[in-house]
Each structure stands twice: as structure tokens, then as C-alpha cells.
Structure 1
Amino acid sequence: MEQHQHHYPAPVPEVAWQPVRVGAVPPPATAFQPRTRLREGIDQVRERHSTVVLTQVLSGGGGVGKSQLAAAYARQAHADGVDVLVWVDAADTSQIITTYARAAKKVGVPGVDGQDAENDAAAFLDWLAVTDRTWLVVLDDLTDLEGAGPWWPRPPAGTGHSGRVLATTRRRDALVSGAGRAVIDIDTYTRPEALSYLRERLTEAGAALLWGHDEHAIDLVEALGRLPLALAHAAAYMINEDITCDDYLTLFDDRTSRLEALLPPGADTDNYGQQVTASLLLALEAAQRREPIGLAVPAIRLAAHLDPAGHPLDLWATEAVTTYLRSHRTPPATDLSGPGPITPAQARAALRLLHHYALLTSESRSGDRAVRLHALTARAARETTPPVDIPITVRAAADALAEVWPEHEHTAPALAAVLRANTDTLTTHAGELIWEDGCHPVLFTAGHSLSDAGLYAAALTYWHRTASGASRLLGDDHHDTVLAWAYLANSYSQTGRTHEAIGIEERVVTDLERLLGYDHAETVTARANLAASYRQAGRTSEAIDIEERVVSDRERLLGHDHAETVTARANLAASYGQEKRTDEAID
């Protein structure tokens, strides 16, 4: 009897899991102190919460090393092979959403299509709650705890411990400790840690002889409040200027004694501002004397108005920045011809100079966030900027952001997210200054960018704030005010709130007809938008009345074959079809 050999399909091999890394973890600071006793306390909290997601909120004032400590945990998680590691620059809620959406795509969460960032971010949170993969999410510099509330990762189901959250914040209110979060207070260095940091920095730079007497070093670290940021400024100054602890302390005491006249009342809200400001001013005085001479001060004042988490290096090659640096450069005393043109290379050299004095970090390997500075350093730089110089600094920063914004955002979504964060920071610091000549174009660009990124709820909030600000600062009859309200109406439409959109669009059409005329392109577009909302609300006959007029206007003003004319006819045909006027739709 013939035997038949059965052939079974070969088993499909499982695809090996590839670790997912999203976001840029800050590199370790020079002479980073492990802070063993503090980390032991954090680890003990972890042990007591071994069956749930542990959310450790590292709370403390500016410049105490929270982010560096969180980064050390992130690097350890990476070394231990955690499956998913997400680092979020969480100062703004939209950045949290954007980063989660990127993570969802990289992890391969089902249903994620990259079209709606908020839906993708929510899907990522759902995935974290059920996955058996190990994960760590770090929310660094969490500021808007109210807005971030819905975006805290939830504990995984069951009793397994597959992931945890680590957050850093300066907030110390009840919201920090809510929802079962464990709060770890981060203070300044201990005296041994501060002395160890200073000794290591000097030794690594080959400047150990600058240490001098131990008592002088002790006096110095205590004068600096044992604050890691101020110690970093001081160490860089001592190394670059080749002076001892004792000499630096003399300079520091002299500078501190003159600060009361410079710092505005209530400026030192963290009780650290004086040390940081004094060390900053000493460093800037020295950097101003170094090549490229006279650029350190204007450079850091501009950088101080941008997002501390970082901005692109290309911003310093823009015409806006090089023109600003030229007009604010302090020329050498022997230069009678005045300041000459500033090249992008000189602007970047100024950044590297500030980097060497530990006033900011400029590293091209960090990509879109190549230039970073500590928030407390930035605050000190802003507070010591003469009021007369602030408006032009704000304008230069805004112009530079607009200059580097990618024309097609889908080709550089990460860069667009960074530029949005920088625009938000600039707007916060600038206040009404960014509205001096009307609404600065970068504000419109940032709003459109939110919608392009699928951040529809964030865009709605943004346009509401922008339109209200325009009405208050520019008046309801200003062209930019009308545009801002039109963009708000568009956001209402995108989020399905059609009736609210219609109320605004009707007013926008009336305003534009009065301000620009019936035949102006913006007026015709506003009527087309109103018609689209009427159709969406089921008010099709009213939509048709407007769309017929829009088609006529487009044909008369742009021609029969123009793309906008074709679009207008297509919209009219759709409305005819919706009203069962099929023959007219076909025509």
C-alpha cells in the first residue's frame, strides 16, 4: 500500500521584539553626582509599590538636578533592557501628546494611523495599561498638571509590574501627590556631594591646583547654596579663567552684594536666584571678553526666551538672529568702525563659548534640540536684560522661529513639534510684546501646525486664546483679529462643534465684507467656509445659496480653470446632491 507523505506549513517565526526608544534623554552632566542616599530612598519607594505602576514625582526648585537624576534612571533602564523607554519634555501638554503619538507608531499599537495625534496618544496609554512589555515613561519638567491629568499612564491590569512613570516638576501642590503618586523631594547637594562635584570638575579639566585650601572650597560651595547649577557655572569660570576657589569666592561675594539693585522685587521665588544670577553674570562678563568678542550676552538673552528643553542649531544661521547679534554686539574698544556683519559661523561660535562656560549646552548630536539651557539660567538672563532691549530680542526670536519653520511639516514632524514648544515659551515670556505690530506670523504658523499634527483639541484651545488676545490687544476691527477668529471657527469645525463654528463664521464674513470688500479673496474664502459649515449642520439650502455665489466670484476673479474655482464647483455639486438636485449636481 502506497504511503502518502503529509506536508505541513513551516511555523512562522516570531518577530523578535526590538526595544523602542522615543525622546532624547539628556546626556550625563560632567562630574555627575550619583546622589546615592537620595536614590536609595527612591528605590525604597519602588519596593513598597512593587505590584503597581510607580509614579515618582521628583519635586524641587530650579537647578537642584531633578532632570539629571531622572535621566540617570532612564539610562539605567536602557542598560537593563527595558522594552519601551519614552522621555517626554513635558512642560506643555501638547508635547506629551505628540511624544505619545510617536511612541504609539513606533511600538505598533493597532489602529494608529498618524492622522489624529490625540487618538494615537490615547491608544498608546491603552496599550501601556495592558501590555506585558516592560516600560518606563519619564515626564520631565511637568508644569501644567491640570492639563496633563488625562495623560498619566495607568497601571497595567492584574498584579504584574511591567512599567512605571517618573516625573520631574517644580510644583508642590496637592495635584502632585494625587492619584496615588509617590512624591520624592529633591534638594540641593549635600556638602560632601558639592565638594565632590567641584573637585571632580577641576581634576577632569587638569586644574586641580585651583582647589587651594579645603576651607576655601567649603566656603565657596556654601556661598553657592550647594546648588548644582551655580556650581556648574562656578567650576567652568574657574577653569576657563584659571583662578582658585578663594579668588572666585571674592568675585562672587562682590557680585552678590550688587545684585539687589539688579533683581526685581520677588524675583528669587525659589530662594536660588541670587546664587545663579551672580554666577551667571560673572561668567557672562568673562565670555564677553572672549572670541567672538561681545556676542555672549546678546546670544544668551535671545536663547533665554526660548524653550529650555532645546531649539535647533539652524536657528542661529537665520538672518533674524545674525542681524540681532550684529545690532547688540559690544565691539572692542579699539574698533572705531562699529560692529561688522555677523556670520552664522560666528553665531555658532558664540554658542560654543557659552557652552564652555556652562551657561548652555550646544551639541549638534542632539538634533532639533541642539541648543539647551537650564530654566533657572534662562530666568536669570531675562531678569538682568535691560527693559529697552527686550522688545527687539523677542522680535528676533519670533522672526527666527518663523524663518526655520519647515514649509511642508509632514516631512519634519519632530522639528515642527520643537518649534511649537519654542513658540509657546516665547509667547509666555514675551506677553504683549509679541503683539506690538499685530499678531506675529509665527503665532498663526504655530496654530496651523497643531491642526496639521492632528492635535485638534490643543488647536482649539490655542486659537481660542489667540483670538481672545487679539480682540483685547488689537481690537475687533484689526485684520489679524478677524483672521484669528476665522481660524478658531475652523478648529470648532474640525472638532465637530459646527454650531459654534457657524456663529463665528457669520461674524467673520460680515467683518471681512466691511473691512476688505465683497470681492476680496479672504472674504470669498470666508463665505465658502461658512457654506461648508451650513452643509455640515444640515442647512443645505443656505449652503447652496452661498456656494452659487462663491462659484460665480471665483470664476470672475480667478478664472474658470483655477484650482479654487474647481473646488468651489465641487462643493456646490456636493450640496446639490445632498438636496437630491441630481441633474444640477451632474452638470
Structure 2
Amino acid sequence: MGGVGKTQLAARHVRDGWRGGRLDLLVWVTAGSRQAVVDAFAEAAQTVLGTDRDDPERAAAAFLAWLEPKAVPEPPRWLVVLDDVTDPADLTGLWPPDSPTGRTVVTTRSRDAALTGRGRRQIAVDVFTREESQGYLTAALAVHDREPLSELMALGDALGWLPLAMSQATAYIVDAGITCAAYRGLLADRARRLADLRPVALPDDQTTGVAAAWALSVERAVRHTRAGVARPLLHLASMLDPNGIPEAVLTGTTARTWFGQGVRVREEDVLGALRVLHRLSLIDHAPRNPHRAVRIHRLVQRAMRDTLDVREQDALARITADALLAVWPEAEPDTDLAQALRSNTEALTRVAESALYQPGAHALLHRTARSLGEAGQVTEAAAYFEHLVEETGRRLGSDHADTSSARAGLAHWRGKSGDKAEEAAVRQRRHSRR
């Protein structure tokens, strides 16, 4: 399930191997989609082999071929991590090879049979045991006077022994300077209110106590940030890629104007809010990696979205699309930024695609498709525009201007990919509808 620390376990394994001098090559892939895996392997091919990234699929294939075991005196010792795989089908044709000097680690919430098989071993990661909880809570709260073991265990029990919830609880306790007992009192009160308000199933097997832990941390963040930025910032982040949001999207003019409900808040207030949210373990903020500066757990994202009704979520989706488009450069010299913006658009589309067609197709959709083509992924660009043609036709009508624009994009990128006959057919269909 979410929140048990799969990524952290993989990261510890990686760190031990790297620091121990047991690896020559490490590739960490945030594998939320097939395209993300292809892009990461293409980047590895460029770094290791000098392969051109204009054709990412071909570059990725070259990298996988390089990983194949070979009869050389000192074969490279490699480790590939595919983190947060959502759909095992995304890895078809992209699994690194079996090798006596290489290993692949996958983290996922899926139990799909495709993830098991020859040479693969599945390791189930559950919530903390009581002993693990005791060790974690004792270490995390060591800065305070040692609390009775019974209080630590009571706190762990109230949080369902979920590591992510414990990290948020301990961050709150340390920040507020209160005892475990006092925190449990706050937790119980909030849980009662949540149970009264939301007598429905919570996502990913969350207990009401875990959901209350999120709510308490959010409320504390709101009290300790200026201009009421913390809550809308989390709402905006809840619509984006949990594995990395560009800082510029959250600090840009569009986002800051929305945070202030029409009055633009200062950039330093947003940066201050990011640090408070990081301190309370609601996000991870790494400003040294600006294109993937903010990471947020899917459970926290879901908890934030669930505080909004459908109308509010739709409005938030369009604001989020505006914020992404506002920082998307017309030219894309920085391929890492372009990849990050595309992955964040993909995440937004997964949770709120219908809102991006109200009242018309948002310009972000066309910008994303064009970005794929400009990155050399012309087949993917054509496929994206084909999807846009279908969706705009279904939602807005075949004669709508956005549908015609999508057809033009489809014709252009199919032409770029060499499909001249199909390009002519698309243009003919456009002409016949006029």
C-alpha cells in the first residue's frame, strides 16, 4: 500500500551499494509512465554511450543492449531502479536484462502477475511491526525527553503503524513541542470530526486516524505560513506529478495570484511555505533540483483533493493547467524542464482530464503534444494529437475550432513521421468538413 516506505527502502539499498563501491553505474527512474522510462533510458544512453536522444526509443534500446552481459574482463556492475511503477504493461520491452553483474529493483503498489516470473523475486512491504515502530519513534523523538514506551506504542497504534503517518506525526510533535499524549488527544478530536463529516471509505486503506494526521499537519502549516499560502499550495501540488514538481510552477505569477485569491502573494512567502511543509513532512522540498524540487506522496495528494467538491476540483485543474503553461518556454533548450512539465501535465490529465475541456480544450494539451514532437518523439506527438482529435470531437463536437486545430496538429506530426498518405487523408477530411 502507499506510505509504507518502498521508495525509501530502495533508496537505502542504492546508497549502500554506491557508497560501498559495489556499483559502476546507477540509473534511478521515476517510472510513472512508459514514456518516463524511455526518456530515462535514453538519457542514460546519451551519458554512457554518447547516443543521440533525438529518437528516445532507439536510444533506450541501445542502452538496454549495452546492459546485456558480455564476455569482457571487467563487465560493468550496474543497478537500475524503476520507482513507483503504476502499470506493469509500461515495462513491456523495457525490462533490463538478466545479468550476473546487474540488478533491477522495482517499487510498485501493483500485485500484477506480470511483475513476477523467472529471475524476479517479489518482496512484500507492509506497515511497521510494533518493534520497528518502537525503534522509529524512539529515534525520531530523541530530541525530547524520553516518553514512556506505552505512549509511543499508543501513538503507533493510533496511526495504524503506517510509516508515512508516523513521520508526519513526529514532525508535528517536534515542531509543536508537545507530548505524544497531547498529540493523540488532537488526533482523536480531529478523527471524530472527520468520521462525522466523511462516513466513507478512505483511500489506500487509510484509517480515520491517518487521515486526521494529515489534517492536523496541514492546519499547523497554515498557521505558520504567511498569506494563507500553505493550503492552496498543497491543493495545487495535489494535481501534479508526485515524483517531482518544478519549483517555478508553484512560485510563478499565475500560481501566486491564485494563492492570494486575485492578489499576488510574494515569491518569498511561497518559498517559506514550502520550507514549512517540508519541515512537517507534508512534502519534500529540494531547491537544488529546481525542475523536480517538490515531491508529495500520493496519499497526501488524495487527502487534499478529497477536501474539495467536484466543481472546486475542476476549477483547480484549470488553474493548475494555467500555472504549467505560464512557465513553459516557447523554445525548449532545457530538455529536463520539458520532461518535467510533460510528466506534470500527464499527472494532471490522469486526475482531471474532463476539466481540461471546459469550456474548450486547454492550450496546455496542444503545448504538451508539440513538446513531444520538438523533443524528437514525433510518433508520440502524433499519437497525442490523435487522442486530442478523439476527445475534442467527442466532448466539443467535430466542427469545433479546437477539434480542427487538433486535426491540424495530427496531420503535421504524422507528416513529420513520414506518414504522408495519412497526412493527406487528414487534410482532406478537414477540407470536407468546411
TM-score range, shorter chain: over 0.9
- Is 1:142 the counterpart of 2:85? The answer is yes
Q: Check the 8 A contact 1:360/1:371 in 2, yes or no.
A: yes
Q: 2:368 aligns with which of 446, 452, 467?
A: 446
Match of 1:297 in 2: 231
Please report how far the alpha carbon of residue 491 of structure 1 lies from its aligned counterpart in structure 2 after TM superposition.
3.5
2:46 aligns to what? 105
Whether 1:357 and 2:280 are equivalent positions in the alignment is yes
1:239 maps onto 2:158 in alignment: no
Give the equivalent residue in structure 1 for 2:248: 314
AA paired with 1:187?
A: D
Deviations 1:532-571 (A, max 9, x none): xxxxxxxxxxxxxxxxxxxxxxxxxxxxxxxxxxxxxxxx
1:181 CA drift (Å): 2.1
Query: In structure 2, what is the Cα distance between the partners aligned to 1:275 and 1:91?
Result: 29
Query: In 2, distance between residues paired with 1:276 and 1:242?
Result: 20
> Quick one: which amino acid aligns to residue 434 of structure 1?
L
Task: Give the structure-2-normalised TM-score.
Answer: 0.94
Q: Residues 118 and 454 of structure 1 are in contact (CA less than 8 Å); yes or no, is this contact kept in structure 2?
A: no
Q: Quick one: which amino acid aligns to residue 381 of structure 2? A: A
Give the match for residue 65 of structure 1: 5
Instruction: Please name the residue that 2:37 is paired with.
Output: 96
Aligned with residue 85 of structure 1, among 8, 16, 26:
26
What secondary structure does 1:185 align onto?
coil
SS of the residue aligned with 1:364? coil
Q: Does 1:344 align with 2:267?
A: yes
Residue 262 to residue 107, structure 1, CA distance change in 2 (3 Å): farther
Tell me the CA shift for residue 399 of structure 1.
1.0
Letter of the structure 2 residue corresponding to residue 442 of structure 1: L
Alignment of 1:412-491 (within 5 A): 412-491=334-413
Is the 2:379–2:414 Cα contact (8 Å) retained in structure 1? no
Separation in structure 2 between the aligned mates of residue 185 and residue 460 of structure 1, nearest angstrom = 39
Q: Could you tell me which residue of structure 2 aligns to residue 3 of structure 1?
A: none
Equivalent-residue separation in structure 2 for 1:435 and 1:197 (angstroms): 46
Cα offset, 1:382, TM superposition: 0.9
Whole-Å Cα distance in 1 between the matches of residues 290 and 228 of structure 2? 27
Pick the aligned partner of 1:277 from 211, 221, 232.
211
The verdict on how the C-alpha distance between 1:440 and 1:264 changes in structure 2, with shifts beyond 3 A counting, is farther
Q: Given the alignment of the two structures, is residue 163 of structure 1 paired with residue 111 of structure 2, yes or no?
A: no
Equivalent pairs: percent with the same residue? 38
Cα distance per residue 1:311-352 (max 9 Å; x no partner): 111222312101110018xxxxxxxxxxx5411111111111
Indicate conservation of the 8 Å contact 1:97/1:118, yes or no.
yes
Distance 1:65-1:129 versus aligned 2 partners, 3 A rule: same
The residue correspondences of 1:174-193 to structure 2 (distance < 5 A) are 174-178=113-117, 180-193=119-132
Q: 303, 317, 321: which is aligned to 1:394?
A: 317
Partner of 1:222: 157
Contact 1:273 1:380 in 2 (8 A): no
Aligned partners of 1:320, 1:125: CA distance in 2, in Å? Answer: 41
Map 1:354-393 onto structure 2 (within 5 A).
354-393=277-316
Distance of aligned partners of 1:260 and 1:498 in 2 relative to their CA distance in 1, 3 Å threshold: farther
Structural RMSD (CA): 1.9
Quote the offset at 1:307 in angstroms: 0.3
Which of 1 and 2 has greater Rg?
1
Deviation at 1:212, TM superposition (A): 3.0
Q: Distance in 2 between matches of 1:402 and 1:136?
A: 36
Q: SS of the residue aligned with 1:166? A: strand
1:244-298 alpha-carbon deviations (Å, 9 max, x no partner): 1111112112222232454474443x21263442111111112211231522111
TM value normalised by structure 1: 0.70
**Unmatched 5+ stretches in structure 2:** none
Cα deviation, 1:373-407, whole Å, max 9, x if unaligned, reads 11111111111224443233212211111111122
- Alpha-carbon separation, structure 1, partners of 2:207 and 2:422: 46
Counterpart residue identity of residue 405, structure 1:
W
Q: Deviations over 1:4-60 (max 9, x none)?
A: xxxxxxxxxxxxxxxxxxxxxxxxxxxxxxxxxxxxxxxxxxxxxxxxxxxxxxxxx
Matched, 1:120 2:59: yes
Name the SS for the 2:288 alignment partner: helix
Q: Structure 1's 388 and 116: CA in aligned 2 closer, same or farther, altered over 3 A? A: same
Shift of 1:432: 0.8
